[in-house]
Amino acid sequence: MPEDASSGNSVKDFIDLVKRSRRGKLKIYIGMSAGVGKSYRMLQEAHALMRNGIGIQIGYIETHNRAETHALLAGLPVIPRRHIFYKGKELEEMDLQAILNRHPEVVIVDELAHSNIEGSKNAKRWQDVVDILEAGISVITAVNIQHLESLNEEIEEITGISITERIPDKILQMADEVVNIDLTADELIDRLKEGKIYEKAKIERALQNFFQNDKILQLREIALKEVAHHLERKIDIEVPKQIKLRPERFLACISSNAETAKIVIRKTARLASYYRSPWIVLYVQSSDESMERIKLDKQRHLINNFKLATELGAEVIKLKSDKITQTIMQVADEREITTICIGKPHLSLFQVILRTTVFNELLKNIAAKQTDLVILS
């Protein structure tokens, strides 16, 4: 490498290090659903920080008119929201610029998954939080587990509710601390019945839909696992290992089959998040899948899946080849992949082994290597 190029990389690395050290700290309160007490806990913490001389301000809080939560606002400095006229209505949004101008030591930002009004600097509030952190301001924020991008379909299956506001997993990975606000299913349902979550008119409907014991238990388990995974990742990073282990690297192989590809992308994202590992999405375009041969809707879904992979933190590689297995193995070798992830074919495993050339060749190729093959259904 030329000396000037090496020097340039060294300077860039040092600048990145300086930026990271100047970045604010991020604390995320996570819960299994609305009403577990995330906003309440953030306001309690704000009072504790004030008592200890920390410059804390409220950038945005949503009390949902819950009396206990609203009472905690007393005595806390609140940055006024900005008022915007949108489609004939006056709406309120968090004032990002005012937060940056005031530059408190710590700011409370509720509703992390919120979508900003059209015309705002950022489309999503989590992007606002990134801007605040990069300005050197620490952030305490909150989100429900169902808003995590890679869990989207799993949560929808449990609740029957489509979640449109989502945050990428990388935000949770950026967090210096993740705290689970945990309640039992019975405690949460009791809070609902006592009117501590929704107004009386909404209680019965909520009990018949989202707030059912089996749904809450499943969401609680997911939230607990997510926070446990975060702690494990933190330990892996901060506690030095005596033995140098081969780092995990995941390769998700997709085709133009939109639904299967989406499953493979989301589940590989979860695996990569768990191991805090880099991962790649590989699409090998055979002559049968050339843009002239596949329908426009398939092309559109494919582009959307590339976008989803990028949002979830993957590197996307697109290659043209009719030698699919060889191409997959070549990329796996070049990138030192430890685990190859593929979608479950629409055949029984026995039929796959006998009839599916790509699968059969993959098995033969990885047999002699230290590479795992994961079939995602």
Tell me the DSSP string of 314-357. Answer: PEEEEEE-S-HHHHHHHHHHHTT-SEEEEEPPSS-HHHHHHH-H
Question: Cβ contacts of residue 233 below 8 Å, gap of 6+?
Answer: 173, 274, 275, 276
Distance CA 258, CA 295 (A): 12
**Residue 10 pLDDT grade (very low, low, confident, very high; cuts 50, 70, 90):** low
CB contact at 8 A, 286 and 374: no
The arithmetic mean of pLDDT across residues 277-299, rounded, is 84
Give the pLDDT score at 1: 42
Q: Percentage of the chain with pLDDT > 90?
A: 34
Phi, psi for 14 (deg, rounded to 5): -70, -40
Residue-averaged pLDDT of the chain:
83
Region 185-189: mean pLDDT is 84
Tell whether the model's pLDDT for residue 375 goes beyond 50: yes
- What is the three-class DSSP state of 29? strand
Confidence of residue 336 (pLDDT cuts 50, 70, 90): confident
In this model, does residue 211 exceed pLDDT 90? no
Report CA 71 to chain centroid distance, whole Å.
32
Average pLDDT over residues 113-135: 94
**Euclidean distance between CA atoms 147 and 166, whole angstroms:** 4
Question: Residue 112 and residue 123: Cα distance in Å, rounded?
Answer: 12
pTM above 0.75, yes or no: no
pLDDT given at position 3: 46
